[in-house]
Amino acid sequence: MTYKFAYGDEAGETGFKFGQGSTIYFVATLILTNHPDELRSYLENFKRQRYLTQKQELHFRKTPDHKRVLFLKPLVKFDLPIYSLAVDKRALSNEFQRLAKVDFYAWTFAELIQRIDALHETKVVLDEISDPSKNIRALKRLLRARLKAEVYYERITRITMNKSHREPALQIADMISGAIYRYIHEGDHRFYRLIDSQTTLWHI
């Protein structure tokens, strides 16, 4: 089965200055769907039931543990394949340390996207970070270099970035990415176990 929409978020930091703020792991995650309005409605209903305003953004790192569980557990009911790539930056060659942050971000998402066979004429929306146009250009360049042109255009119709407060599905991607990162970084399985049946997780 293929999917027309993919929403992505990252967790961790792209730098290599360990001990000075750089994280050991960087995790890139995409959630796939053919029904994005269902995800938006789910988030809207969750906020209403938990007495949150619709303007309040949901972020894994700011959400209490019990609400993380309440949010993630029902996602198993959705047709929502999750694909994630966890990179242990310590295992990478020294040449990666010379990459600009935008290039390492693009490299990680390119590595993830090229592994996913369930993309077909898919619109990819990533959580917006600094200098979005530069990030998108770098990502497209890497994907086109790795995939044959016909494969690239068959899989992807558009890659864009958006703010999570403008695209509720990105808040769901954030919650999922955060759960995966917590599992990878700390071995904390409490939240990841709620979504692991839907998740394909690769390690580098």
Both tokens of 86, joined, read: 């966890």
Q: What is the pLDDT of residues 23-75, one digit of tens each?
A: 999 999 999 999 999 999 999 999 999 888 888 899 999 999 999 999 999 99
CA distance 23 to 45: 34
Token pair 């792209």 is found at: 14
The bridge status of strand 25-33 relative to strand 82-88 is antiparallel
Q: Read off the pTM.
A: 0.93
Tens-digit pLDDT profile for residues 91-128: 999 888 888 888 889 899 999 999 999 999 999 999 98
Is 75 in contact with 194 (CB distance < 8 Å)?
yes
Residue 3 in this model has a pLDDT that exceeds 90: yes
